[in-house]
Amino acid sequence: MGSIEANGKNYETDEEGYLADLNTWDKDVAEVMAKLDDCELTDNHWEVINFLREYYEEYQIAPAVRVLTKAIGKKLGKDKGNSKYLYELFPYGPAKQACKYAGLPKPTGCV
Amino acid sequence: MADFETPELKEYPVIPHLQEGVMAHSRPFVAKEEFQEQLGFPGELVDNWEQVALDKMKELTGKYRGFQVFLDSCVKCGACTDKCHYYLGTSDPKNMPVARQDLLRKVYRRNFTFAGKYFPKLVGAVDLTKEVLDDWYSYFHQCSQCRRCSVFCPYGIDTAEISMAAREIMDCVGVGQKYCNEIIGKVYKIGNNLGLPQPALLDTLEGLEEEVEEDTAVKVRFPLDEKGADILVVTPSADFFAEPHVDGLIGYAKVFHEAGISWTLSSHASEAANFGMFIGSYENMRKVSLRIREAALDLGVKRIVMGECGHAWRVAYSFLNTLAGPFDFLDPKYPVPQHILEFTHDLIQRDALTLDKSANDDMVLTYHDSCNVARASRMGSRPGGQFTIPRDVIRASCNHFFDMPQDTIHEATYCCGGGGGLLTDDLMELRVKGALPRMEALKQVVEEHGVTHMNRHGYFSRRHGKERSDVSPLRRG
């Protein structure tokens, strides 16, 4: 168990820095998490993060990588609907790194 | 990435000098109370844990004959010492299989053998202390249960069995591993390791249908929970979720489409992986397996086919009938269960699939034998089928295939780092270091033959209207 501070507020996290409670998420904590990884969140990052949060709200799970690339391709153009683009944005892996900034739990299993 | 040294890939494998205790710090996260309790284990270290552990050890030696034989029969010949990828990659002597076994054996001797009870120092017997338990937690989570050492042991001692028993004992005293136990809980609650609920599965599969149709103009179906289908396909949930795993699933759908056989996935049994084996828990392994039986009965299928996953195939091939049988309600003409590669191989033999090998001419392939498929199960009706069937399928679908060196394939295959419940980021140092022997073997075929892709199993995915085998980087154990 750990915690992370953003704008004077404390957010409880798990051992790996994922938010313990999805409902405590806000944009400030996402920015701070990204900064810890030396990552500056641009509009392109936010497109992904927002999609993850919407999808999670509907399905209670992060989208499959193929679902994510397809959705991003539809929104931002076909040239961006691929894992290469997502890995450029989230070099530690879109499923893990983007989920973390979006406040979602880490995907479990053989991934 | 974490602060550890990535081992250098050498031209020839080198057995490293010992560095005592160099991996003593490696420990996966401990499971929280909620993850323990959903599996029927105590939430934290119980008060009389020493006694509980010894009682459990006694129970397991009585229940599993092999376990007792393995504890009694080691003669310290040393044949196993340089056979473990974790020893070769880390140099820690406790990662030599004999030393790993001895962590448990020395406590067994102290409590259950005459010599150990009365002359402990003479036979290296010790009492179970907190330090010993800590060592167990650390080093029994540095064994991927790949069984490579057992191939070279003149007594056939299987360190995997000892690791599994050790983890079962630790779970029973309240010290479980987060990665495995959280995941097993998700299977009970939702149906798969990733926690993909039925609506998410449906959405994902619909997306795949659209995608395949866009790519090929062929309407290939990805059915879910369809009653009356002939075949229930059970595959790891990573196939729905991750890249490049999903290419495997797409391949299966295309093979079934071409074969014209009706099939379905199940949301209830949407997981082939069975982490109950990694933690050595018969009860949990059984509970996970029973979901396959329940789904098969509920959907009224005639056959069960397993998707690619090494340890899932071991559980399915070796234990499914014991755990969840009898399967007398299925069609007796077919093996229960059948591997997707057996199924595909059979179609190729009967010329029921049209394959255009030249579509794969941009790739040079090699094949990684999964440990659990190679050493803990079989495939097809002939001895060694687990080695020939995957290679036959690859050769039928591509022109350029080269095997890695002989002492790193077939029954001597090296671990890919995916198995044994160690595929978790809190063990990244171990994973990187343990990959050394496999990476050295891969490097050799890359340099000698220009290999571009390592195939874990023969996958098919049709692009641009042609059949092609799609390959993915090595992931699974």
Task: Work out whether strand B303-306 and strand B338-339 pair parallel, antiparallel, or are unpaired.
Answer: parallel
Q: Of B256, B247, B168, which Cα lies nearest the Cα of B211? A: B247
B172 and B208 assigned to the same domain: no
pLDDT (mean) for B418-430: 95
The pLDDT of residue A76 is 86
* Amino acid at position B12, single letter: Y
Q: Of A81, A85, A86, which Cα lies nearest the Cα of B210? A: A81
* Chain B residues with beta carbon closer than 8 angstroms to that of A108: 179, 182-183, 186, 193-195
Q: Strand runs (DSSP E) across B183-337, as ranges?
A: 231-234, 263-264, 303-306
- Cα separation, B245 vs B241, in Å, equals 8
Tell me the sheet residues that pair with B306: B234, B339
First-last CA distance in chain B: 23
* Chain B residues with beta carbon closer than 8 angstroms to that of A111: 194, 238, 241-242, 245
Residue B465 pLDDT level (bands cut at 50, 70, 90): very low
pLDDT (mean) for B205-230: 97
Residue B409, domain member (yes or no): no
Mutate one of B177, B239, B243 to test the A interface: name it (highest A CB count within 10 A): B243
pLDDT at B470 > cutoff 70: no
Residue B414, domain member (yes or no): no
Residue B442, domain member (yes or no): no
Q: Of A54, A110, A49, which Cα lies nearest the Cα of B243? A: A110
**CB atoms B426 and A16 under 8 Å:** yes
pLDDT at B467 > cutoff 60: no
Residue B204 pLDDT level (bands cut at 50, 70, 90): very high
Residue B411, domain member (yes or no): no
B211 and B105 assigned to the same domain: no
Domain that holds residue B70: 33-176
* Amino acid at position B292, single letter: I
The pLDDT of residue A83 is 87
Residue B9, domain member (yes or no): no
Tally of structural domains, chain B = 2
B166 and B258 assigned to the same domain: no
Residue B367, domain member (yes or no): yes
B55 and B148 assigned to the same domain: yes
Last residue in a domain, options B109, B144, B176 = B176
**CB atoms B241 and A109 under 8 Å:** yes
B197 touches chain A (CB under 8 A): yes
First-last CA distance in chain A: 22
B212 and B286 assigned to the same domain: yes
* Average pLDDT, rounded, for chain B: 93
Residue pairs between chains A and B whose CB atoms are closer than 8 Å:
81
Q: What are phi and psi of B304, to 5 degrees?
A: -125, 130
* Chain A residues with beta carbon closer than 8 angstroms to that of B208: 66
pLDDT (mean) for B198-208: 98
pLDDT at B73 > cutoff 50: yes
B137 and B208 assigned to the same domain: no
pLDDT at B456 > cutoff 80: no
B299 and B242 assigned to the same domain: yes
- Cα separation, A48 vs B216, in Å, equals 28
What is the CATH T-level fold of the domain A2-101, as seen in this structure? Arc Repressor Mutant, subunit A (1.10.10)
* Chain A residues with beta carbon closer than 8 angstroms to that of B203: 59, 67
| Cα separations in angstroms, B399 against B392, B404, B435, B468 | 12, 16, 28, 11
A38, A84, A108, A110: the active-site residue? A110
Last residue in a domain, options B133, B156, B176 = B176
- Cα separation, A69 vs A88, in Å, equals 13
- Separation of CA B18 from chain center: 28
B196/chain A closest Cα distance in angstroms = 6
B309 and B345 assigned to the same domain: yes
The pLDDT of residue A111 is 85
Per this entry, what is the length of chain A? 111
pLDDT at B121 > cutoff 70: yes
Yes or no: say if B96 and B87 are a contact pair by the CB < 8 Å rule.
yes
Tell me the sheet residues that pair with B366: B454
- Cα separation, B400 vs B473, in Å, equals 17
pLDDT at B394 > cutoff 50: yes
Residue B416, domain member (yes or no): no
B183/chain A closest Cα distance in angstroms = 7
pLDDT at B446 > cutoff 50: yes
The pLDDT of residue B472 is 35
B204 touches chain A (CB under 8 A): yes
The pLDDT of residue B2 is 57
* Chain A residues with beta carbon closer than 8 angstroms to that of B249: none
Instruction: List all residues 6 or more positions away from B373 whose beta carbon is below 8 Å from its beta carbon.
Output: B310, B313, B314, B379, B386
- Cα separation, B302 vs B382, in Å, equals 24
A110 is catalytic: yes
The pLDDT of residue A94 is 85
The total of other beta-carbon atoms located within 10 Å of residue B458's CB is 29
Q: Strand runs (DSSP E) across B340-460, as ranges?
A: 365-367, 453-455, 459-460
**CB atoms A108 and B195 under 8 Å:** yes
**Tens digits of pLDDT across chain A (111 residues):** 799 999 999 999 999 999 999 999 999 999 999 999 999 999 999 999 999 999 999 999 999 999 999 999 998 888 889 989 999 999 988 889 999 999 999 999 988
**CB atoms A16 and B425 under 8 Å:** yes
B183 touches chain A (CB under 8 A): yes
All structural domains of chain A with their residue ranges: 2-101
B272 and B150 assigned to the same domain: no
**CB atoms A15 and B211 under 8 Å:** no
Place of tokens 């448990």: B104
Yes or no: say if B281 and B168 are a contact pair by the CB < 8 Å rule.
yes
Place of tokens 């001692």: B157
pLDDT at B307 > cutoff 90: yes
For residue A60, give the nearest of B183, B197, B309 by CB distance. B197
